[in-house]
Structure 1
Amino acid sequence: MKLTILGCYAATPRTITNPTAQVLEIQNRMFLIDCGEGTQVQLRKNKIRFSKIEHIFISHLHGDHFYGLVGLISTFMLLNRVADLHVYGPKGIKEVILLQLRLSGSFTGYNLYFHELESTESEVVYEDDKVLVRTIPLKHRVYTNGYHFQEKEKERKLDINAILNYGIDQCYYQKIKNGGDITLDDGTVIPNKKITTDPEPPKSYAFCSDTVYDETLVPQIEQTTVLYHESTFLESEAHLAEKTLHTTAKQAANIARLANVKQLLLGHYSTRYEKISLFREEAETIFPNVLLSDDGKVFEF
C-alpha cells in the first residue's frame, strides 16, 4: 500500500505548500483522493502517470479540496484520454464541473461518470474483486465524506514443497489458493492448511478530511492500518477548530487511540504555524505512532 502526498495544507496554495490531494495505490489500483488547486502539477512533479487514474474521490466542495478537478479533467482531454473516468463526491459536483466545461466550450473524448453522494450513513461507493471503498460521513460546514479503502482477503499462499510431496497436479493450484481441500486418488483428503500458508493480513486506509472532533466515526475506522486525519490546528487554537468545524492534532490523536489504528498520519495544517513538527509533538502525547504528511512525501505501508 503506497501513499503519495501531493498536497496537505489548508485553505490556499502557496509557493511552498499545496492544498489537499493524495494518490493511494493499493492492490495495483490507483485512486486520487481530493483534487485541490495545482494537483496536476504535483502529479507531474511526482511522476505519476495520468492514465493510471480512473477513480477520483472528492470529500467536499470547499475549494482547497476540488478546485483542481476541472483542470485535470480538461488535461485528460488534451492528452487524448480514452479510458473512462469516475468521480465520486457530494451532490452538486456534476453540476459545477459540467458548467465549467460547457461555458468554456470544452468536452471530453472519454466517458466521464459522476457518482453523487447524499447519504449521511456510510455506504459502499466502489468495489471490485480486490478492494472495497466506503464513505465515512464527517461533520463539517458543508456535506462531507471521508473514505475507507479496504483490501479484500487475499488468496492463500501455496506451500510448494508440501504440494509436491502429495503429488498434487498443478491444475488444482487455484482451488488450493481459494482455500479448497484436495482429495487424492486414493480418497485421502488433504486439508488446505497442510498445503498453504496464511496470506498477509489485508491492509486498510481511512481518509478523514475536514471535520470537527467526532467520536461517532470511531466504529467505522477501528483497526485501520493507516488513518489520515485532518489536524488543522494545535490545541492552543482549539477555539478556532470548534468555530470552523476542524480538528486539532491532539484531537486527531485521540480518535486514533479510540479506534486502535496502527498508524496515524496528520495533515491539512493551517499555514499559520512555522513548523509542522509541532503537530506530531502534540499528537504523540496521546498516541505513539504518528507520521506527518508533507507535499511530495511518499509512504509505503
Structure 2
Amino acid sequence: MKFEVTILGSSSATPIYNRNPTAQLLNCNEKFYLIDCGEGTQQQLIRYGFKASKIDYIFISHLHGDHYFGLIGLLSSMHLNGRIKPIKIFAPAALMEILSLQFKHSETVIRYPIEFVATTADVPLQIFENNDLTVHTVILNHRIPCTGFRFTQKKRLRKLIVDKLEAEQIAVEYFPLLKRGVDLTLPDGRVLLNKDYTTDSDAPKSYGYCSDTLFDESYFASIQNCDTLYHEATFLHDMLDRANQTHHTTALQAAEVAKVNGAGKLLIGHFSSRYKTLQPLLDEALGVFEHTQLAIEGVTYTI
C-alpha cells in the first residue's frame, strides 16, 4: 500500500526564492491528506502535478500565518472549480471564524460542505479514523496552541498465496475468510490451515509531523518509534537562544528527538530564511542521527 509524503513547502515565517511556507501532501493508498497550508500551496500542487480536487482532508497545526495563509485561496479555488464533495478540516477552533469572516465579506457561498473539526492543544487525542489509517494529535510547545499529528496505517488483511490456492482449485468465495486469518473446512472434507495459504501483511507504518515547537520532552511519548518523523529545524544550534526565544528547534535538537524516540528516519524542515544553503543544517543533524534527510520541496519520501 502506498504511504508517502511530498514536501510542498519547507520555509519558516516568510517565503524566499525557491522555498515556500510549510505544506505537505500525504498519500495513503491514493487518499490525499494536506498537512498545513502555507502561502502558495495551490501553486505548489500545480507545479508538482497534484490535483487539489483529490484532497479530502486538511490538517492545520496552528494559526501562525506560514501554516495556513494559503488555505483561503485553496478553498476558494476548489469552489470556483466546481467542487461539490465535502472537505474535512482539522484545525484550531478560531480558524473557522477566520474562514467564515473571509467568505462573509467577499460574499462567497462555498458550494461544497466544509466539515470542521476543532483541535485542542491540551491532551493528545485520536481525531480521525478511516479504513486506511488513524490520526492522533501531538501536543507541541509553541508560542500559541499548536498540535503535531501522527498518521498510523491500519494493519492490512493477510496476503493470499494465490498460486497455491489456484493449484488446489480452492473456490474464490473462501478467499475473504482466508485473508481474515480463518482456518476452513471445505464441503469435501479438506482442511485449509490459514498459515499454509496466506502470509502476514506488512507491519503498519507511522508518520509523525512536528511543526513548530520548543525542544520539550512532554511530546516524546506521542512520537515514539515513528517510521518517518518530520521535525522542524528552524535554526542551527549556534542560534539556540533565538530558537528558545521563538519556541523553535535547532537541527541538532531535532536529531536528538529522532534518536531518543527511535525514529526510523528523520526529515527536517521549516528552515529560517537566513539560510540560503541548507547543507549546514543537514550536517549538524547527521552528527547526531545518521538517518536524516532534508525536506526538499517537490520530493516525495516513502514512509
TM-score (norm 1): 0.96
Q: In the alignment, does 2:52 pair up with 1:55?
A: no
Q: Partner of 2:23 in structure 1? A: 21
Taking the aligned partners of 1:124 and 1:71, their CA distance within structure 2 comes to 28
Q: Partner of 1:43 in structure 2? A: 45
Question: Number of matched residues?
Answer: 301
Q: Is the CA contact (8 Å cut-off) linking 1:11 and 1:270 kept in structure 2?
A: yes
Decide which moves more: 242-251 or 175-184.
175-184
Q: In the alignment, does 2:252 pair up with 1:256?
A: no
Letter in 2 for 1:63: G
| Deviation string, structure 1 residues 140-189 (Cα, Å, up to 9, x no partner) | 00010001111100111101233245542210101111111111335554
| Identity percentage of aligned residues | 39
Q: Partner of 1:221 in structure 2? A: 223
Q: Secondary structure at the match of 2:107?
A: coil
How much has 1:23 moved relative to structure 2? 0.3
Letter in 1 for 2:7: I
Letter in 1 for 2:104: R
Q: Secondary structure at the match of 1:129?
A: coil
How much has 1:246 moved relative to structure 2? 0.4
Q: Partner of 1:88 in structure 2? A: 90
Q: Is the CA contact (8 Å cut-off) linking 1:139 and 1:245 kept in structure 2?
A: yes
Letter in 2 for 1:23: L
The equivalent position to 2:203 in structure 1, one of 201, 224, 240, is 201
Taking the aligned partners of 1:13 and 1:270, their CA distance within structure 2 comes to 9
Q: Partner of 1:72 in structure 2? A: 74
Q: In the alignment, does 2:134 pair up with 1:132?
A: yes
Q: Partner of 1:297 in structure 2? A: 299
Taking the aligned partners of 2:83 and 2:276, their CA distance within structure 1 comes to 41
Taking the aligned partners of 1:287 and 1:218, their CA distance within structure 2 comes to 16
Q: RMSD of the TM alignment (CA)?
A: 1.3
Distance 1:119 1:142, change over 3 A: closer
Q: Secondary structure at the match of 1:54?
A: strand
| Deviation string, structure 1 residues 109-135 (Cα, Å, up to 9, x no partner) | 000111111251111111111111111
Q: Is the CA contact (8 Å cut-off) linking 1:9 and 1:268 kept in structure 2?
A: yes
Distance 1:60 1:136, change over 3 A: same
Q: Partner of 1:10 in structure 2? A: 12
Q: Is the CA contact (8 Å cut-off) linking 2:121 and 2:140 kept in structure 1?
A: no
Letter in 2 for 1:181: D
Q: Partner of 2:248 in structure 1? A: 246
Taking the aligned partners of 2:44 and 2:276, their CA distance within structure 1 comes to 22
Unaligned runs of 5+ in 2: none
Unaligned runs of 5+ in 1: none
Listed as ranges, the matches of 1:40-189 within 5 Å are 40-185=42-187, 187-189=189-191
Q: Partner of 1:273 in structure 2? A: 275
TM-score (norm 2): 0.96
